[in-house]
Each structure stands twice: as C-alpha cells, then as structure tokens.
Amino acid sequence: MCLWADWDRFGHKAEVIPVRINVADLLTEAGQHKAAPVAVAMEPVEFGGQVFHFDRPLTGEVEIWNTGDSLLVKGSLAGEVLIQCSRCLAPITLPLDLSFEEEFVEGEPPAEGEEAGDEGDDDRTITYFQGDEIDLTEALQQNILLELPMKPLCSEDCLGLCPTCGANRNETSCTCQQATDVDPRLAALKDLLRKPDSNS
C-alpha cells in the first residue's frame, strides 16, 4: 500500500498526511515482527530565525517488534530540506538522513501528575495507543526537527555578505573588502614588532 498515494494532488503544499500503521498482526503474540515503508510530509517549519521548507515527503522504512511489553519501532528516513545559507542567504538544499527509535504501549496514557514508575527513568519516550493502529506522525516529525541544521552553509568556505555594502562576496569582490581587511589591532601589533626593545 502506498502511504502517500494522494501526494501529487497537493503539489508543493505541505499537507501533512498521517503516518499510521496497522499492527493487529503484531499484537497476537510477543516476538512478532514486521517492516513497513513510510513517508512523512512536513509543513514549513520556523526555527532559529530560519524557515525550513520541505518540497517532498521524507521517505524510509520502519521495523516494528512486539517485545511483549510494548511495540518497539526502529527506522530510518531520508529526504532534503530547503533553506537559506546562514552567511550569504543563498537558497540551498541540504540532505537529511536520520534514524530513530520509538516505543508504543497499548492502553491509556497515565493521568497527568501520576508517577510514571520505574520505567520513566530513561530518555525513551513512550507513546500510548489503542486499537489496531499506531500513529507515527508526531514521533517522526519530532525526529526530523531534531535533525535540522542550526547554521546551514552553502559551502564550508562561504564568504558571506559584505557587512558594509551587502554584496555577496562569493559572487563579487566589492571595493569595501580591502578596507575591512585591515584589522586595527593587527596594525598596532605591526608597530610594536618594529620596536624590538620596547619593553626594556
């Protein structure tokens, strides 16, 4: 079954399609296991002063195990994010590649304020589900958000914008460049070095 059969209908609009997987066949007994393809659509995300756009859903695969106590979900996703270079503001496309692990427990979530017990000690978040389906949408979106780059660059040696005239220094060498290259602290140091006996 294709989980994003209707994707083309939405074009580039990031209409989020829920990622739900039927687990009825896994719940019959502990040890059951299966794999399923997934696709996660993301709406544009504003984060750290930048807007991240996703042209296409991120795609990958999940594997689900019935451990007896819970359903353990492990998977990986790959895709790309459209963003601006944090130095020169050029539009760039960066690959995103991530793996994740989630745990689903059948039943009602504990009431707020109630102690989660010994199992709440580790970092793994538990999602509660009822019925035959687990909904991975939110968990997968959270995992994608964690992978977003904080200071994306078009290239490691991006020269950025000229702070004086705003020109993109990757494309043009403006005339302000020479003036800003002379650091007054270095000029002072040069003077000191010319007087080797200055500290006696």
Contact stretch for Zn ion (CB under 5 A) within 35-43, 66-74, 80-88, 141-149: 80-88
Which residues in 39-68 contact Zn ion (CB under 5 A)?
none
Question: Taking CB under 5 A as the criterion, which residues in 120-159 touch Zn ion?
Answer: 154, 158
Q: Does 165 bind Zn ion (CB under 5 A)?
A: yes
In whole angstroms, give the CA distance from residue 66 to residue 82. Answer: 37
Binding letters toward Zn ion, positions 170-189, x by CB under 5 A: ----x-x-------------
Q: How do beta strands 133-135 and 20-22 pair?
A: antiparallel
Q: Which two tokens stand for residue 138?
A: 């939110």
**Of the ranges 27-35, 63-71, 87-95, 121-129, which one interacts with Zn ion (CB under 5 A)?**
87-95
Rounded Cα distance between 127 and 138, Å, is: 10
Of 22, 90, 14, which Cα lies nearest the Cα of 55?
Answer: 14
Min. distance of Cβ 6 from Zn ion in angstroms? 36
Task: Kindly state the smallest distance separating residue 125's Cβ from Zn ion, in Å.
Answer: 36
Q: Give the dihedral sign, CA 140/143/145/151.
A: negative
Task: Select the residue interacting with Zn ion from 164, 171, 186, 192 (CB under 5 A).
Answer: 164
Size of the site for Zn ion (CB under 5 A): 11
For the bound state, the minimum distance from the C-beta of residue 84 to Zn ion, rounded and expressed in Å, comes to 8
Least distance in Å: CB of 1 to Zn ion?
41
Distances (CA, A) of 197 to 178, 190, 192, 200: 32, 14, 9, 6
Comparing C-alpha atoms, which of 63, 58, 74, 4 is closest to residue 33? Answer: 63
Q: How far is the CB of 184 from Zn ion (least distance, A)?
A: 18
Residue 83 near Zn ion by CB under 5 A? no
> How far, in Å, CA of 13 to CA of 8, rounded?
10
Cα–Cα separations (whole angstroms), residue 2 to 6, 59, 69, 101, 149? 9, 11, 29, 22, 30
| Cβ nearer to Zn ion, comparing 76 with 168 | 168
Report the residue number, 140 or 158, with the smaller CB distance to Zn ion.
158
Residues within the interface to Zn ion (CB under 5 A): 85, 87-88, 154, 158, 162, 164-165, 167, 174, 176
